[in-house]
Amino acid sequence: MPEHCAAYSCSNRRTLDARARGITFHKFPKKDVRKKWEVALRRKGFTATDSSVLCSEHFKPEDFDRTGQTVRLKDGVIPSIFNFPLHLQRPKKGRTTSTSRRAEESMSAASQDETSASLPQPQPNDDHGYALPASPTALKAKLLEALARVESLEREKKNALAREKRARTTVKYFGGLEGE
């Protein structure tokens, strides 16, 4: 009986087709690391069993030990690549290092000096949605939001293409059976 990946909205199953595509499946580890894996999945009420597995698409390439014949996960590795819906995604934190705070302060101080020293300038027309925000931090926040959206759409596209490829393979397989 094929095993399914336990990750949210992942449809990978342990089949010959998955093996041919290079997808490996890994059982949940024991004890404390198992709990970290369960938390990383963000599935409400999910508790891993002895037969629960995760596919290799939820790990970074550097998380694997490929030295022998068997592909193994390195010790203590936690899955980190998921395709969560928006309500399960965690907001990305901005940088809070002392260097970035000082740079932000110096930028705001420089912009205050420029505005006080220069002549009054005409107010920009913010009636349109494509108008840029006034402050650099708001502009950067808007850019980060757009980049996150692009990343999300790229993941969705990748998953849709993979689903389409699987569907084509299935259609070819069943189409070949009719002629027999």
Where exactly are the structural domains of the chain?
Answer: 1-84, 134-180
What does the pLDDT read at residue 87?
A: 58
Between CA 169 and CA 175 the distance in angstroms is 10
Phi, psi at 127, each rounded to 5°: -70, -20
Q: Is the dihedral of CA 146, 142, 125, 115 positive or negative?
A: negative
- Kindly report whether the global pTM for this prediction surpasses the value 0.85: no
Note whether 23 and 55 are within 8 A (CB): yes
Cα–Cα distance for residue pair 19/62, rounded to 1 Å? 19
pLDDT one digit per residue (tens) for the chain, 180 residues? 558 888 877 888 888 888 888 888 888 888 888 888 888 888 888 888 888 888 888 888 898 888 888 888 888 888 888 776 665 666 666 666 777 777 777 776 666 655 555 556 666 555 565 666 677 888 888 888 899 999 999 999 999 999 999 999 988 888 877 655
